[in-house]
Amino acid sequence: MIGILSAFGASFAWTYACFIWRRNSFILEPIKLNLLKNLVAFLVFIPALFSVNFTQDTPYLLILLISGVLGIGIGDTFYIKSLKSIGTRKTLSIEAISPIIAAFSGGIFIKETLSLSSWIGILIVSLSLIKIITMRHTYLFRNSEDKTLKVNLTDYSYSFLSVLCAVIAALLSRLVFIKTNLNPFQTTELRLLGSIIFLIVVTKLKTNFSLSKFKNDERFWFLVSIIFGTNIGILLQQIVFKTLPLGIGWTLLSTSPLISLLFVKKEEGELSFEIILITLILCIGIGLTIL
């Protein structure tokens, strides 16, 4: 039960953080924004780093660093770029393919087996999310002349790349939990460390780490987004990977499009009956997944 609750909690935390990032430019370009948010999140959880025994399970510590590079360093950068181009709900909806990829990856690489009902649930969730994407703007309306709503398949490329990095990173995290006694706080901090090292190398430290250029309200919302999207979101994600099989855990973590409906009126427009119906079908799929 703790894994299920953590998955929904992580989905809400990420969705809310994405909504904040989408509504605020925060001045910085995506890769620099990602580095700054990871540095702040790393400092919040830094006590966990001192409890890690670096002489024990060294190969798995390196795996966590790689997981951080892929999932947080590269994946989150693509994620933020996607938010700015296609919006919160559409970005999160690309996760439609991730539950199936995660389930197959868990079975192939770490020999996890799922029940028939779980596979059916994962398929229903994935198809429901794919339907949400293919419906595009027909179920939402705001202003037909608003060019920000006119996107095509290429606009989703950053989100697809983000999903690919995230699933690989999740598989690595799950492997570490199976093989070691590291706790979610420790793995979260090590993954953040990996992402920071990578982003520092890429940006060559050409980043202003001060929040002085932010407006007062932007500074506040930026810090809130870090607490929700990075600290709480990644910590709860790690609890999911520790307690649930990868396929089931990732399917539950992919419920962000469902939660993002809470923000639709503020970002995109009104809901139609069709999207509500698909959402109910998605919920049935989630139920079958966890049976």
Residue 87 pLDDT > 50: yes
Choose the weakest-confidence range: 33-37, 220-224, 276-280: 276-280
Within 10 A of 53 (CB to CB), how many other CB atoms are there?
Answer: 11
pLDDT at residue 140, as a whole number: 38
Top pLDDT among 267 and 215 is at: 215
Asked if residues 160 and 98 have their Cβ atoms less than 8 Å apart, the reply is: no
How far apart CA 87 and CA 257 sit, in angstroms, is 11
Taking the CA atoms of residue 57, residue 61, residue 66 and residue 68 in that order, the dihedral angle to the nearest 10 degrees is: 140
pLDDT at residue 62, as a whole number: 95
Residues 6 or more apart whose CB falls under 8 angstroms from that of 50 comprise none
The one-letter amino acid at 68: G
Residue-wise pLDDT tens digits, 134-156: 664 443 333 333 444 445 566 67
Residue-wise pLDDT tens digits, 196-252: 999 888 887 665 555 666 677 777 887 888 888 888 989 999 999 999 998 898 888
Token reading at 155 = 């606009």
Asked if residues 247 and 99 have their Cβ atoms less than 8 Å apart, the reply is: yes
Q: Is 176 helix (H, G, I), strand (E, B) or coil?
A: helix
Q: What is the mean pLDDT of residues 27-48?
A: 83
Q: Which residue has the tokens 């995290």?
A: 173
pLDDT at residue 92, as a whole number: 64
Top pLDDT among 176 and 81 is at: 176
Top pLDDT among 111 and 172 is at: 172
**Which of 7-21, 112-126, 277-291 has the highest average model confidence (pLDDT)?**
112-126
Q: What is the mean pLDDT of residues 99-120?
A: 87
Q: How confident is the model at residue 25 (pLDDT cuts 50, 70, 90)?
A: low
Q: How confident is the model at residue 272 (pLDDT cuts 50, 70, 90)?
A: low
Within 10 A of 228 (CB to CB), how many other CB atoms are there?
Answer: 20
Question: What Cα–Cα distance (Å) separates residue 48 from each residue in 45, 183, 186, 235, 243?
Answer: 6, 9, 5, 12, 20
Q: What is the mean pLDDT of residues 91-115?
A: 81
Residues 6 or more apart whose CB falls under 8 angstroms from that of 230 comprise 17, 37, 38, 40, 41, 72, 192
Question: What Cα–Cα distance (Å) separates residue 247 from each residue in 46, 69, 206?
Answer: 30, 22, 39
pTM for the model stands at 0.80
Choose the weakest-confidence range: 54-63, 181-190, 250-259: 250-259
